[in-house]
Amino acid sequence: MVTVPFICPDTPILTKNPVFMYSSDRFQKPYPFKADVAVSIDDVFDQKIDAIHEMASQHYEGGANGSEAHVRSVPPASDVAGRKEWLRKQWVGRSGNEANRYRDDLTSWYGEERGKVVKNAECFEICEYGRQPTRDELKKLFPFFE
């Protein structure tokens, strides 16, 4: 829709379709996630926790899958340190599993030595609706790859 005229008349349309990416998930239908890019988040993991902490409704309250049981399992809002530690455990599990599941992709992007020691990762799949970048273009979009 970003290249379709008149959808948002006060904003010029893009003349070149951008790259769209999916974040990883465990869905298997209609097909399993395939990592096109695997990124270490070790250096920014604490910043990520700080950012996620600010979205209480999405994590501490459970987002769309929230329940009274979930809310009771989370430390109270007055216990900021406890809440962040609870959040950290949730995300260490997720991003740690991601690093292990996509270890081959991490070593492909970072090299064997660095890729095998990544503890926390995020992976992305290129969406077929956007521009299809080459590996070299992806290195420009993710400029921290050497």
Element (DSSP H or E) covering residue 40: strand 37-40
Give yes or no for residue 1 having a pLDDT over 70: no
> pLDDT (tens digit, 9 = 90+) per residue, 10-56?
888 888 889 999 999 888 999 999 999 999 999 999 999 999 999 98
Percent over 90 (pLDDT), the chain: 70
Please give the pLDDT value at position 6.
79
Please give the pLDDT value at position 144.
84
Hunting for tokens 């290249």 — which residue is that?
3
CB 91 within 8 A of CB 48: yes
Number of H helices, E strands in the chain: 7, 3
Mean pLDDT, the chain, rounded, equals: 92
Helix, strand, or coil here: 37?
strand
